[in-house]
Chain A
Amino acid sequence: MYNYIPDGDSVAKAYTEEDQGKYEVFMERINNGEKIEADDWMPEDYRQALIKLISMHGISEIMGALPEKEWVPKAPTLKRKLGIMAKVQDEMGHGQLLLRVAEDLMKPYGRTRENLIEDLLNGDLKFHNVFHMPTKTWADAGMVGWMVDGAAIISQTNMLDASYGPYQRALQRICAEEVFHAQHGEAIIMALAEGTKEQREILQESFSRWWPSLLMFFGPASAETTGSSKQDIMIKYRIRKSNNEELRQVFLNKYLPRAFSLGLTVPDETVHYDKENERWIYQQPDWNEFKQIIKNKGPMSKERLRLREIAYEKNRWVRQALAPQVISS
């Protein structure tokens, strides 16, 4: 009864009359704030939106470990080494947790984690724009923890009451850990901000470089900007509460005053708080570039995917060795 519906097909086609009744019960549960579980009936567009969201989230955690990983062996003190190791390990753990949730949702389609990794490698499964960007200095290790994890906390807190139980519970755990990540990042940033001239320079350079990526983090304000946005369906099914622009405003409101207090300069002269409308005014990042980045055409997309590809290929023999029935050749 579950037919995979590719993008663009009408979801309504998949419904039978029997499903219509189930749909009404389902929506009632959603509107009552009940949690949907893996084995419950759910409409196809809900399942697919979740698969897309959670597999992208999970794979982004895993791909997100790579830019920071570049700095793990280079962390300049023993304390920082332990801190960044613990953080990157958490991120892999988040990836693992989320891929399990996604796997349960994909069961009716007979798809597994292996398929997700293959989708990632052939470009069908996207990962978050920030993780396509290069890291150049130790300041980036701090910036990722401070601002990227900070942004992640905001977008994930927005889903802490998501209607899908397994995802909602995973997010509870993930968000609790993300708070430590942001603190770890902030500690690195503070040390640089209070440090030597060179340290303050790499901090400013890093902040300026990450600024557009951080604005892009929350996605375009509306579907018109890039041509597709799953915001509406997510809100209808109570997966998330606020829209992209609202989240971005929360982020700016939280982080800009902190950045200013550290003496950082935003690489956008128009940035200011509009008191009357109670919102931050900023120059839009280049959304065309955003589109390119998440199509794996970002500055580090190929390199990062290549790392996963090599790991996948080089360890094939291990997977084969662990497989229950191996025909050795």
Chain B
Amino acid sequence: MTKRIETADEAKQDAAYSEALKELIYQMADDDFIVSFRGSEWLGLAPHIEEDVAFSSITQNTMGHAVMYYNLLEELGEGDADALAHARPLEKRRNAVYLEKQNGDGSYLKEPYFDWALTVVRHYFYEVLKKVKLEALTKSSYVPLANIAQKVLMEQPYHLAHWKLWIRQLQNSNEDAKSRINMRIVEAWKEFGDALELGTKSSEMVQHELIAGEEFLQKQWLNEVKATVMSLPTYPLEKGLGNGRNGKHSADLKQAIKIFSEVYESDREAVW
């Protein structure tokens, strides 16, 4: 019999359930938040104007998704959504480490030597994962989460299609582009490992029917990626930068927090 929890109040009555649930939502929220943050640094710097428009639209939608998850957490008693997004310390953050990686050398304000190949590979890998997870979440026992997944799936396939097209175009073009993409794929293979995991509460998440298991998600992800990317490493994915699902992050997240919380932290009491 499938479990159905309709409201936050209902979820809160079962401590084990709500702990696993919150852990899952933090991962979803923080992933989208940091991906959107890195995307927002690109604004005005994309390869051409059409891409700038499309990319910033995706970035904005992605932030919209993060907001829905933070709101769910607020309902579950985790505190103010804005505080959750801006004021949580590094070790409390649950996004995958590869997603926090800087876009390249320099900063978005000065000498931004950003690499489009990294961005294409990262967003493609991430959007495939997001689709796989969202599809699994549509069957989640937590109904508000399943509803959000349905909603996000109305626009997310366009995001995935966008990055998939980029991967296809670049890996089918000249040698230079191919090798740039390949290099970033090999790099991602060494760093994307934790993205495909659900952290320390993964078995509870499955037990409470919140989401499908890691193995299933990984298989789905790999099948989809294999169908698009020409040459993939044959060894398993690694966690070369740490494990964000357990709060083990890189210095790049520190840099990100410093920027996105600058105004917020300048006066926590203020209404902005």
Q: Which residues of B from 46 to 66 have beta carbons under 8 Å from A?
A: 46-50, 52-53, 56-57, 59-60, 63-64, 66
Q: Choose the segment among B79-87, B199-207, B226-234 that binds chain A (4+ C-beta atoms closer than 8 Å).
A: B79-87
Complex interface: stretch among B90-98, B136-144, B255-263:
B255-263
The total number of A-B Cβ pairs within 8 Å is 146
How far is it, in angstroms, between the C-alpha of A242 and the C-alpha of B169 when the chains are bound?
A: 48
Q: Are A76 and B170 in contact (CB under 8 A)?
A: no
A82 touches B60 (CB 8 A): yes
21 A-B contacts (beta carbon < 8 Å): A62-B49, A65-B43, A72-B40, A74-B260, A76-B82, A76-B264, A86-B60, A138-B263, A138-B272, A198-B267, A310-B106, A311-B44, A311-B47, A314-B45, A314-B104, A317-B116, A317-B180, A319-B48, A320-B177, A321-B169, A321-B174
Complex alpha-carbon distance, A78 and B65, angstroms? 11
Q: Is the CB of A315 within 8 A of B47?
A: yes
Binds B, one of A43-51, A91-99, A119-127, A220-228: A91-99
A195 on interface, CB distance cutoff 8 Å: yes
Interface size on A, as a range, is 35 or more
A315 to B115, CA, bound (A): 8
Q: For B114, list chain A residues within 8 Å (CB).
A: 314
> Interface centre among B43, B86, B174, by most A CB within 10 Å?
B43
Shortest Cβ distance from A96 into B: residue: B49
A95 touches B56 (CB 8 A): no
Residues of the A chain whose Cβ atoms lie less than 8 Å from the Cβ of B272: 76-77, 80, 138, 188, 191, 195
Chain A residue, CB-CB nearest to B62: A85
Cβ–Cβ < 8 Å partners of B267 in chain A: 196, 198-199
Question: Provided the pairs A96-B49, A315-B47 are in contact, do residues A85 and B40 lie with their beta carbons within 8 angstroms?
Answer: yes
User: Is A320 in contact with B49, judged by CB distance below 8 angstroms?
Assistant: no
A88 CB within 8 Å of chain B:
yes
With A62-B44, A73-B108, A88-B56: A317-B177 Cβ-Cβ less than 8 Å: yes
Interface centre among A71, A82, A188, A321 (most CB of B within 10 A): A321
Q: Which residues of A contact B45 (CB under 8 A)?
A: 307, 310-311, 314
Q: How far is the CB of B164 from chain A (nearest CB, A)?
A: 15
The answer to whether B49 and A328 touch across the interface, beta carbons within 8 angstroms, is no
- Among residues of B, the one whose C-beta sits closest to the C-beta of A113 is B49
| Interface of chain A residues 242 through 261 with chain B (CB within 8 A) | none
Measured in the bound complex, the distance between the Cα atoms of B42 and A310 in whole Å is 12
With a cutoff of 8 Å between Cβ atoms, the chain B residues found around residue A308 in the complex are 44
On chain A, the residues within 8 Å of B109 by CB distance are: 70
> Is B60 a contact partner of A318 (Cβ separation < 8 A)?
no
